[in-house]
Structure 1
Amino acid sequence: MMNAHMQQQALEQQLMHAAEVMEEQVDAEMKKMNELDEDDIEAIRQRRLKAMQRSHAAKQEFIAKGHGGYDELPSEKDFFDKIKDCKRAVVHFYRPTTLRCEIFDKHLAILAPKHVETRFVKLNAEKCPFLCERLSIRVIPTLLLIVDGKTQEKVVGFDQLGGHDDFSTDMLEWRLGVSKAINYRGDINNPPEDKRAPARNPLHANRRIKQADDFDTDEELFGDE
């Protein structure tokens, strides 16, 4: 009984100490803010303004290059011409007769304007046999994720998205973020909840996300065309 009482007292003391430390930190921050003069505040405002201007300029530059939409590329030549100058791209290899490709279409059309830092396009696999052979595209639909001119990874079918057709746009967004194909703003270590099939969740299940080496990728796309 005495030990339990002593443990309770020790716990209360630890909590009190933690609260005091936190209060001191808050007081220090408030003191720092109070000591700022008008010049300091103006300097902070100018830095934030310049950061916003740089962000806006970068966004406009991306849009000028065709980012912000989800477009179909007519041919292999268009792929090399359009993607060559893109730092990041998501390329959907589809086939008109494969209905599941429309599921990717729906989600990618939502993500494209949200992530203008990345180019989102689709390519009819039947019209680009050379490219499919070179990149080992064997399953439709497949998403090719390009980062810095190299094929970073592939998302083949829906296995990495829960293993069913009803995965959410948030799940696909998280998966693209894992590969750094987009600027993901959420917690990369905690994928969105998959209410239908939580056991198939890529990070919660004993299923490894396939890396570039699994597909003979990580190729220089624009070296020897």
Structure 2
Amino acid sequence: MAADTSVEMFSNVLETQILQTTEAIEQQLDEKIEKLDQMDEDEMELLKQRRLEALKKAQQQKQEWLSKGHGEYREIPSERDFFQEVKESKNVVCHFYKDTTFRCVILDKHLTTLAKKHIETKFIKLNAEKSPFLCERLRIKVIPTLALVKDGKTQDYVVGFTDLGNTDDFTTETLEWRLGCTKIINYSGNLMDPPFQSQKKFGTSFTKLDKKMIRGKAYDSDSDED
């Protein structure tokens, strides 16, 4: 009987919470509808114009990104090109790779997908063996490494697969979440709820989203070292 009473009480509380949430949503909708009903033709026309302007501005921004090479994952030929690429785009993800490192091919697959999804960010790759000056300047020692560049300055690195679970089978969503932590892409998910298939595979330091811990951690990736 006690168990039945507890279940009934829990059910009643849950039902009350759902009802309160529903009523709050309905009230918000009613207020919006009432506000629209009270608008005259001039106000409606102004609202329409603002929305059209916002859509036009968004479309112009998209075209500007595409003209600068956003929307596709591509290779740049030299170190000199790197500086030009990061200069003209606010957010850049650059993959430093080697032809002899098979994990770079794994990253290529995920980055190709993300480049199409996040056109607000430029996704490029550069052969580390052809860019010794840049690798030294950015202190890139492990391949693959992603340099995350915002406003022309390197904000963070994804070194090897350590932050991705130390596994070759990480998902595109996991890499997307990792990039979102540095705000190099417009991440729509919950950063405090990483899409890990198994939390036990991942270190707790990164899930706390402490950038100092991220940058200062000892990477033990078994990828090729430069």
TM (norm. structure 1) is: 0.79
- Could you say if the C-alpha distance between residues 74 and 26 of structure 1 is closer, same or farther in structure 2, counting changes exceeding 3 Å? closer
Task: Give the superposed CA RMSD.
Answer: 3.0
Could you say what secondary structure the match of 1:122 adopts? strand
**Structure 2 residue corresponding to 1:109, chosen from 97, 107, 112:** 112
Report the Cα distance in structure 1 between the residues aligned to 2:122 and 2:95, rounded to whole angstroms: 11
Match of 2:205 in 1: 207
Partner letter of residue 93 of structure 1?
A: F
Residue in 1 that maps onto 2:85:
82
Deviations 1:39-94 (A, max 9, x none): 32222221111111111101111111121111111111121222222211000011
Secondary structure of the corresponding residue to residue 91 of structure 1 = strand
Runs of 5+ in structure 2 lacking a partner? 218-226
Q: Do the aligned partners of residues 129 and 18 (structure 1) sit closer, same or farther apart at CA in structure 2, a change above 3 Å counting? A: same
Tell me what 1:156 maps to: 159
Which residue, 126, 130, 137 being the options, matches 1:123?
A: 126
In 1: Cα distance, 2:50 partner to 2:140 partner: 46
Taking the aligned partners of 1:19 and 1:137, their CA distance within structure 2 comes to 51
- Cα deviation, residue 185, structure 1: 2.0
Structure 2 CA distance for aligned equivalents of residues 175 and 184 of structure 1: 10
Equivalenced residues, count? 206
Secondary structure of the corresponding residue to residue 92 of structure 1: strand
The SS at the match of 2:58 is helix
The percentage of aligned residue pairs carrying the same residue is 49
* Code of the aligned partner of 1:67: H
Q: 1:111 to 1:26 in 2, by over 3 A?
A: closer
Q: Where is the helix percentage greater, Structure 1 or Structure 2?
A: 2
Aligned pairs (5 A) from 1:19-34: 22=24, 24-34=27-37
1:125 and 1:20 mapped to 2: Cα distance?
Answer: 56
Deviations 1:128-147 (A, max 9, x none): 11111111101110000001
* Aligned equivalent of 1:49: 52
Task: Label 1:17 to 1:129 Cα distance change in 2 as closer, same or farther (>3 A).
Answer: closer
- TM-score for both structures, normalised by structure 2: 0.79
Could you give the per-residue CA deviations for residues 103-153 of structure 1, whole angstroms, max 9, x where no partner exists?
110011111122122111101111111111111101110000001111110
| Counterpart in the other structure of 2:221 | none
The residue aligned with 1:198 is 199
Residue 72 of structure 1 pairs with residue 78 of structure 2: no
Match of residue 179 from structure 2: 176
Structure 1 stretches lacking a partner, 5+ long? 216-225
